[in-house]
Amino acid sequence: MDEPLPERNFGFLVHDVARLMRVAYDRRTRELGLTRSQWWVLNHLYFNEGITQSELADVLDVEKPTLGRLLDRLEAKGWVERRADPSDRRAKRVYLTGEVQGLMRSLRAIASDLRLDAMDGLAEAERQRFVDILLVIKANLVRINGNGNGNGNESWARAATASHEGADDRANVAGA
């Protein structure tokens, strides 16, 4: 099999699209006064509120001390709070506070607009099929890696598999 050119290389494209999405998101959120690290943590907490600090470090693929310092800064702004885990006194669970809810609505709206802009020119059925394909690829990589990034969180793989199982039905309905 011939080596694809960079513009047709799947790995290069995925990496470059992710980079371009981060750059565009950074630009759109700049006026909110957030660093990339801060919005990355806040967005993960939005979807995984109450996760332990260790689990969050694994999901974000950062060292625990690095995340600890970042959470210190977010806590000082009143945006997150760490609470003791009732079942493990060594663990801290991380939650968004009420103070950050307006900011989160802004971040989510910016993200939604960016996704729409990025997929401009694709029909709704194509958008859904594209995401379904990405979920299958992600599930394959989670399986290959033994659970993803070593964090023990297989919920993404289960979601990808469940989504893929319904993807054939959606593709048939959409005429794809």
Whether residue 149 sits in one domain with residue 74: no
Whether residue 107 sits in one domain with residue 139: no
Whether residue 95 sits in one domain with residue 25: yes
Amino acid 75: pLDDT: 96
Residues 167/129, Cβ–Cβ less than 8 Å: yes
Report the interhelical angle of 101-118 vs 36-47 (nearest 10°).
100
Whether residue 75 sits in one domain with residue 97: yes
What's the predicted TM-score (pTM) here? 0.71
**Who's near 113: CB < 8 A, 6+ residues apart?**
28
Quote the domain boundaries for residue 170: 122-176
pLDDT higher at 158 or 79: 79
Residues 92-105: tens digit of each pLDDT: 999 999 999 999 99
Whether residue 92 sits in one domain with residue 71: yes
Which residue shows structure tokens 């194509």?
A: 126
Domain count, the chain: 2
Domain limit, last residue, from 118, 133, 168: 118
Q: Is 60 helix (H, G, I), strand (E, B) or coil?
A: helix
The CATH number of whichever domain residue 41 belongs to comes to 1.10.10.10
Residues 27-75: tens digit of each pLDDT: 999 898 888 889 999 999 999 999 999 999 999 999 999 999 999 999 9
First to last CA, the chain: 27
Whether residue 126 sits in one domain with residue 113: no
Whether residue 93 sits in one domain with residue 34: yes
**Residues listed for the chain:** 176
Whether residue 113 sits in one domain with residue 155: no
Residues 139-168: tens digit of each pLDDT: 999 999 886 554 444 444 344 444 434 433
Q: Which residue type does 120 have?
A: D
Give residue 147's region: left, alpha or beta (phi > 0; psi -120 to 50). left
Amino acid 5: pLDDT: 82
**Who's near 121: CB < 8 A, 6+ residues apart?**
none
